[in-house]
Chain A
Amino acid sequence: MENNYLIPYLLLAPFIGGVLVLFINKNKENLIRYFGLAVSLIVFIISLIIYFDFDNADGGFQFLYRFSWIENLNISFYVGVDGLSLLLVLLTTFLTPLTLLSSWSSIDKKVKEFTFFMLMLELGMLGVFVSLDMFLFYIFWEAMLIPMYFIIGIWGGKQRIYASIKFFIYTMFGSLLMLVAIIWLAVYASSSLGYFTTDLVELYKVGPTVPKTIQNYMFLAFAFSFAIKVPLFPLHTWLPDAHVEAPTAGSVILAGVLLKMGTYGLLRFCLPLFPQSSISFAPAISVLAVIGIIYGALVAMVQKDMKKLVAYSSVAHLGFVVLGIFAMNLEAVQGAVIQMINHGLSTGALFILVGVIYERTHTREISEYGGIAKIVPIYAFALLFASLSSVGLPGLNGFIGEFLILLGSFKSTVLNNIWFTVFAASGVIFAAVYLLWMYQRVAFGEVKNPMMNELKDMTKREMLVLLPIFVFIVWIGIYPSTFLKVSEKTVRNILEQVETPHKAELK
């Protein structure tokens, strides 16, 4: 097999860029900023090249690159993308330059370290999405925690130490169970294949042959680790803390990409590796997802801190994604994939907007605001736009994802119960309640806080950060096919992998 070097380049670019940052004089802050931005843009361009070379008709892994690493154990540096991971790679490379640009003035200490960690974070996230070897995947999965830990811990708010440690330990705790399951699976594979391997493509063949009881344990081990990352109710409480304390860039990446690693993991590993268990656990997990949708929305409603509100809205949105994944049909899973992207865009935009105003007022208390639509109309427009995208207004991206997920879950034969959809759909009402209420209290009414009278509207740089996001919000809302067709074939393959053993069992 011919090795394709595009993905190694994709990973090397932020790595080399990050290392080079360390050699720049730390006082040349602007140089560092421009350099970091340039590197992230190069990464974005590489990912675009991959996108344009990608063959939508082929649902399998493409741009494969394999480099034998630990030969005794058949562990290799094995990377590639399919339609699912490609979309998430694009989301990552798209959001990273924007977050760097959004932190231009808000990060004014230790710029060098910040840029370094951001690029390393990008490397870690990309690694997670392109790894086709479970060992490699696990390394990226864990390694990515470290830059995030520092980003929250150094540039975060008052409670940053607590939040960063909580984030780190909570996710780490889940991952360890996954590590055990990975090793177990690889050992099991060595008895059926005759050799030890962590090659995902090979393990896809082994997973479904694992006896049901053991499969259940392994499914749970994987799912637990991913559910923490998603986060699925009731494993979500690390999220609000991490979000509130993280700097804007951290929040955007956290919500935009990190959470998607959980749902990506469910789709990439849980479903195809343990199809029988996935189907039997689908109703239980969907119940948690639906609880998350309503619970997250209700809790968001009473938050006093804007960032916390957005954080809880993530719990609700990701509930939709999980529901879509476990409905296990084409519409729902496609909806879940597009909803992952949507959430990255709209929640990313909301966090950036909260950051923009926080930078000016140093408060996120909703009650401190009021009436700012009059003073900063462009900002108010942008906030409304992002909120409506999050609410799922038709014509914008959120609607497409929710629509496809609800459509799929409604007719899902795996869930086989329309009440999932009915309850999930009612969550849509609450989304309107908490976001419009927040918007009303922030933007409408008379100006009560005299400080608000001196607010400056968005700068050109800030508009430049949001504009690309808004373009995609409208694009997905009006013509989602551009994105749906990238992942369609892959989603079909995954669903086939789930269905085949299930059907055989039924016979």
Chain B
Amino acid sequence: MQDSLLIKLAVVILFLPLIGFIVTVFFGKSVKKVYVFENLVLIASFILASILLYGKLNYYIDTDLFSEFEWINLGEVPLLGLISIKLGLMLDNVAAIMIWTVMLISLVVHIFSIDYMKGDIRYNHYFAYLGLFTFSMSGIVLTHNILMMYIFWELVGLSSYLLIGFWFEKKSASDAAKKAFIVNRIGDIGMFIGILLLFITYQTFSFDSIFIQLADGKLPFNSEFWLTATGLLIFCGAIGKSAQFPLHVWLPDAMEGPTPVSALIHAATMVAAGVYLVVRVFGMLTGDALLIIAVFGALSALIPATIALTQNDIKKVLAYSTVSQLGYMIMALGVGAYTFAFFHLITHAFFKACLFLGSGSVIHNMHHEQDITRMGGLRKKMPLTYAAFLISSLAISGVPLTSGFLSKDGILAGTYAFASLTGHWLFPLVGFFVAMLTAFYMFRLIILTFHGEPYDKEKYEHAHESKFAMAMPLVVLSILSIFFWYTPNPIDPGEGWVLSKWIKTPEIFTPVETRYDFMKPDENAAVDHSSAVVYSSSYTEAMHNAHYPAMFLSLIVAGLGILLAFLFYQWKRIDPDKLANKFKPLYNLSYNKWYFDEIYDATFVAGTLMLSKFLGWFDLKVIDGIVDGSAAVTKGFSKFSGMFDNIVVDGLVNFIAILSGFVGLIFRKMQTGKVQTYIVMVIFGLVILLFLFKSF
């Protein structure tokens, strides 16, 4: 009885924000205070999500709850049996933790926005869109099947589109909104085809039934290659939504949206949906697929981190850092460090939301100044924002006692263990290098913004700390970035409840021979495809061995990064400009974001446009030309036959008429009316006749 209660609660949580959206959007014009309703709805959703999480973790920690209903019934199909498309919800620990995180961040962003967006002409609509987003995101989190996930996936894309383009008067904002939607769609097509492949193979969209059948050895087109391909196609969706290389270009542009939106959608929740997707389908990814995923993750961690080094827009730095951190998570999944990937997803959500809201607080109080080289010294004016920003930066840099240290260290240890088992040492190398870059650019950001002397005295004088509604979210989120929420032991996350109880190592359902070696069950273990323990003991051992080396290394690189940042910007021992001049090409590459936008513009965008223009011309001139041409030919032919008719046919008729007229003219002469003439003629004729007959 009670489990059905819990899943019903999940249904309520899913639909509450939708109600908030509908009410707010329709009364947005007429009722000025309708945004209060949207905020109340979110508070209710958050409370319910908390109850849900509590209930799940206390009473059903090892049981997953389901509910489903039939959506489309195509009926009995020959050879295939009953085809019915079911939608439904699944509540496992991952979903429960995730929905709570989404609701919490959505709530604090709502509250933060009350002040931040004050005075906007579309104030109510802003909150309505936040409600739509929260609804769509909950759908992704709570669904038990991949089709419904795709549906909400696209809805999330829509709310993202609306919010990025919220200030649509600005061309850059509407451009960014469109770009986000289209780039996401490119990834989604791959995901969609992957979903079709799954459905054709398994006749279902539900993760669970797919896994069960996969464990029984059913593969797409009966081939392991196609299983890998299906996994990678679905991963395409994650590349788009989580802004992974090479589709990461939309996320920095998405910063055109209001800053709280960046915190909610483009840092903490929506962009994490891609990672969440990979978490969901993890059990069907083959070793080959995982390795490729890890490569994409590593590239996405590395490239944006190098770009973040030289950016001056506070939000752009954070955006590139988001891509980089998401790359970490994807790489972690690729190397099999599933639990740490999800753990990092949660910790990152809190500290990155805090960083974005902190930057929002700065931007708001600096009158929409976003250039960090034009800030400075704000520490004194905004101590609370500074403190929150500092804690979150320590977390993202992986400094001990923070949540980020726990999860990031886990990921680094995961890559280290993976490398020690498989020999792919590039992954830990990238991981540690990026950790250093992260610490560096985050502290560069902090020093330039909060330390030193103010750049613009006047703006500085007017700056002040944010009011309660904007300060409170910062406090909540920065407190959540401290270790004790997750584990009692600040250096070993493994001892914490999150990793030892809540997030379990996933089950793997792929055929044993397609897995990584360390994911194959131990020889002595009972061979049972659907058993829960799937990693071999060698992995546990490698993980154990990796723990301390990885931790020391990560401490060193983080410290090094922070130290360098201080040397460059605080103590000014090294002149960054000189260094930039020395390595001009490298600096330019980073500053210009590796020219991704330029390259895409010159190839795909320009190419499509050119092709379209050509086809537009082709359609008008060639295809329609043929139609008009054949009309012209017909017309010409008609004209010709008209002429023919006029001259030849009618001419003939006329000729005959003229001829007979002419003959008549001659013969008329004979018709004189004089009887004498006629008699002469008759006699004349008779003589001729007689003469003729005689000769026979």
Which chain A residues have a beta carbon within 8 Å of chain B's beta carbons? 166, 169-170, 234, 236-238, 295, 298-299, 301-303, 329-331, 334, 371, 373-374, 377, 388, 393-395, 399-400, 406-407, 410-411, 421-422, 425-426, 428-430, 432-433, 436-437, 440, 443-446, 479-481, 484-485, 488, 492
Let me know if A234 and B612 touch, CB within 8 A. Answer: no
Is B457 interfacial (CB-CB < 8 Å)? no
Let me know if A429 and B623 touch, CB within 8 A. Answer: no
Known A425-B193, A444-B171; 16 more pairs at CB < 8 Å: A170-B627, A295-B619, A298-B611, A302-B612, A302-B615, A334-B74, A374-B169, A395-B151, A407-B196, A429-B182, A432-B185, A436-B178, A436-B182, A440-B168, A444-B174, A492-B75
Residues of B within 8 A of A436 (CB): 161, 178, 181-182
Let me know if A481 and B192 touch, CB within 8 A. Answer: no
Residues of B within 8 A of A406 (CB): 192, 196
Let me know if B623 and A234 touch, CB within 8 A. Answer: yes
Q: In the complex, what's the smallest C-beta–C-beta distance from A432 to chain B, in angstroms? A: 5
Residues of B within 8 A of A236 (CB): 623
Let me know if B189 and A394 touch, CB within 8 A. Answer: no
Residues of A within 8 A of B177 (CB): 440
24 A–B pairs (Cβ distance < 8 Å), ordered by A: A170-B627, A298-B615, A299-B619, A302-B609, A330-B75, A331-B83, A388-B158, A393-B158, A394-B155, A400-B72, A410-B196, A426-B189, A429-B185, A429-B186, A432-B182, A432-B185, A436-B161, A440-B177, A444-B169, A444-B171, A445-B170, A446-B169, A446-B171, A479-B71
Is B631 interfacial (CB-CB < 8 Å)? yes
Let me know if A302 and B199 touch, CB within 8 A. Answer: no
Which chain B residues have a beta carbon within 8 Å of chain A's beta carbons? 29, 71-75, 77, 83, 150-155, 158, 161, 165, 168-171, 173-175, 177-178, 181-182, 185-186, 189, 192-193, 196-197, 199-200, 608-609, 611-613, 615-616, 619, 623-624, 627, 631
The verdict on A484 contacting B72 (CB below 8 Å), with A421-B193, A425-B189, A432-B185 known, is yes
Q: Is the contact region of chain A dominated by helix, strand, or loop, or is it mixed?
A: helix
Residues of A within 8 A of B615 (CB): 295, 298-299, 302
Q: In the bound complex, how far is the Cα of B506 from the Cα of A344, in angstroms?
A: 47
Q: In the complex, what's the smallest C-beta–C-beta distance from B635 to chain A, in angstroms? A: 11
Let me know if B616 and A302 touch, CB within 8 A. Answer: yes
Residues of A within 8 A of B193 (CB): 410, 421-422, 425
Q: Which one of A237, A373, A479 has the highest number of Cβ atoms from chain B below 10 Å of its Cβ?
A: A237
Q: In the bound complex, how far is the Cα of B604 from the Cα of A433, in angstroms?
A: 13
Residues of B within 8 A of A393 (CB): 154-155, 158
The verdict on A440 contacting B178 (CB below 8 Å), with A169-B631, A388-B158, A481-B71 known, is yes
Q: In the bound complex, how far is the Cα of B191 from the Cα of A406, in angstroms?
A: 13
Let me know if A428 and B151 touch, CB within 8 A. Answer: no
Q: In the complex, what's the smallest C-beta–C-beta distance from A390 to chain B, in angstroms? A: 14
Residues of A within 8 A of B623 (CB): 234, 236-237
Q: In the bound complex, how far is the Cα of B247 from the Cα of A429, in angstroms?
A: 14
Q: In the bound complex, how far is the Cα of B196 from the Cα of A428, in angstroms?
A: 15
* A481 (CB) vs chain B CBs: closest residue: B72
Residues of B within 8 A of A331 (CB): 74, 77, 83
The verdict on A394 contacting B150 (CB below 8 Å), with A446-B169, A488-B74 known, is yes
Closest A-B pairs by Cβ, 8 of them? A444-B174, A394-B151, A444-B168, A237-B624, A302-B616, A298-B612, A301-B612, A302-B612
Residues of B within 8 A of A334 (CB): 74
* B169 (CB) vs chain A CBs: closest residue: A446
Let me know if B619 and A237 touch, CB within 8 A. Answer: yes
* B184 (CB) vs chain A CBs: closest residue: A432
* A428 (CB) vs chain B CBs: closest residue: B189
Let me know if A411 and B200 touch, CB within 8 A. Answer: yes
